[in-house]
C-alpha cells in the first residue's frame, strides 16, 4: 500500500527530474549564442567588443532558465512545501 507521504515524495522526485530538463534548453541556447557570436566576430572583427557584450547578456538571460529549474528541483527534493500540509506538521 502506498501512503500519501510516499506518493508526494515520488511525485516530487519526478517533478524535480522534469524541471531539470530545462537545463537542456539553456545549454542549447548558450551554445547557439556563442556560435553566432563567433560567426559575427569573424565577419566584423572591429565590432568584437559590442558583439561580446551582447552575446554575454544573451547567455546570462538564457542561463536564468536553468537556474530557476535547479532551484525548483532543489525545493521539491529538500524543502518540499507539500509534505507539511499532508502530515499536519
Number of domains in the chain: 1
Model confidence at 88: pLDDT above 70: no
Please determine, for residue 70, whether its predicted confidence score (pLDDT) is greater than 60.
yes
- 88 falls within a domain: no
Alpha-carbon gap, residue 80 to 13, rounded angstroms: 10
- pLDDT range class, residue 77, cuts 50, 70, 90: confident
> pLDDT tens digits for 20-68?
888 888 888 888 888 998 999 999 999 999 998 988 888 888 888 889 9
CATH of the domain at 38: 1.20.120.610
Task: Answer yes or no: is 89 within a domain.
Answer: no
Report pLDDT for 47.
92
* Structural domain range at position 36: 4-81
This prediction's pTM: 0.71
DSSP per residue, 53-88: HHHHHHHHHHHHHHHHHHHHHHHHHHS-TTHHHHHT
Amino acid at each position: 500500500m502506498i501512503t500519501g507521504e510516499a506518493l508526494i515524495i515520488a511525485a516530487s522526485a519526478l517533478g524535480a527530474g522534469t524541471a531539470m530538463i530545462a537545463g537542456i534548453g539553456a545549454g542549447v541556447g548558450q551554445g547557439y549564442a556563442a556560435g553566432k557570436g563567433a560567426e559575427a566576430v569573424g565577419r566584423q572583427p572591429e565590432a568584437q567588443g559590442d558583439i561580446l557584450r551582447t552575446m554575454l547578456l544573451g547567455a546570462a538571460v538564457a542561463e536564468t532558465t536553468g537556474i530557476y529549474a535547479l532551484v525548483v528541483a532543489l525545493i521539491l527534493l529538500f524543502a518540499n512545501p507539500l509534505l507539511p500540509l499532508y502530515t499536519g506538521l
